């Protein structure tokens, strides 16, 4: 079997956002059945494209647990319910609440001090921003 050129897309994600890279490859067929496949990169992969974190604003940040969450840059209609999740660095939800307005006040004063991620989920997507609670 001869070599075939192509590309493979690699997508990764975490609470900070998503990234993707298209890797140009040369496909060299495997030897015997069940012997595996060799995929070799033709060149260095380009730098990943990251989803910006500035789609939502949090103030004050750092906070004592109460902060304003501004999602107006997302341009989500006011009739669409959004859900705010406060995530630990390991991705565990420690606080959550639904909201409708473009600017929402969050009262998470019962959450221990630390670094958290505010994840806003809405119809068709999500946005994430870091918040420091002291």
Q: Residue 117 contacts by C-beta under 8 Å, 6 or more apart in sequence?
A: 15, 16, 86, 87, 89, 128, 129, 130, 131
Is the per-residue pLDDT at 14 higher than 80?
Answer: no
Q: What is the largest CA-CA distance in the chain?
A: 64
pLDDT in tens, 41-98: 555 545 444 444 458 999 999 999 999 999 999 888 889 999 999 999 999 999 999 9
pLDDT band at 17 (very low <50, low <70, confident <90, very high): low
Strand-pairing partners, residue 21, are 10
Q: Which CATH architecture has domain 57-133?
A: Sandwich (2.60)
State the Cα angle at 132 between 121 and 69, rounded to 5°: 40
pLDDT band at 1 (very low <50, low <70, confident <90, very high): very low
Beta strands in 16-134 (DSSP E): 17-28, 38-41, 49-50, 57-59, 66-70, 82-87, 93-99, 103-107, 114-122, 125-133
Q: Give the pLDDT score at 124.
A: 76
Domain locations in the chain as residue ranges:
4-50, 57-133
Listed range (29-33, 68-72, 116-120) with the worst mean pLDDT: 29-33
- Work out the average pLDDT over 101-119: 95
- Work out the average pLDDT over 19-31: 55
What is the pTM (predicted TM-score) of this model? 0.60
Q: Would you say 118 and 84 are in contact if contact means Cβ atoms under 8 Å apart?
A: yes
Q: Give the pLDDT score at 48.
A: 44
């Amino acid at each position: 079997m001869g070599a075939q050129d192509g590309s493979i897309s690699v997508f990764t994600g975490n609470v900070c956002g998503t990234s993707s890279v298209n890797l140009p490859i040369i496909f060299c067929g495997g030897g015997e059945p069940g012997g595996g496949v060799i995929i070799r990169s033709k060149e260095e992969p380009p730098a990943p494209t990251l989803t910006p974190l500035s789609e939502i604003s949090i103030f004050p940040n750092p906070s004592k647990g109460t902060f304003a969450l501004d999602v107006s840059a997302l341009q989500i209609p006011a009739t669409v319910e959004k859900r705010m999740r406060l995530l630990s660095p390991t991705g565990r939800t420690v606080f959550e609440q639904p909201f409708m307005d473009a600017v929402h006040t969050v009262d998470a004063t019962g959450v221990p001090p630390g670094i958290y991620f505010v994840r806003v989920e809405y119809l068709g997507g999500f946005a994430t921003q870091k918040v420091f609670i002291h």
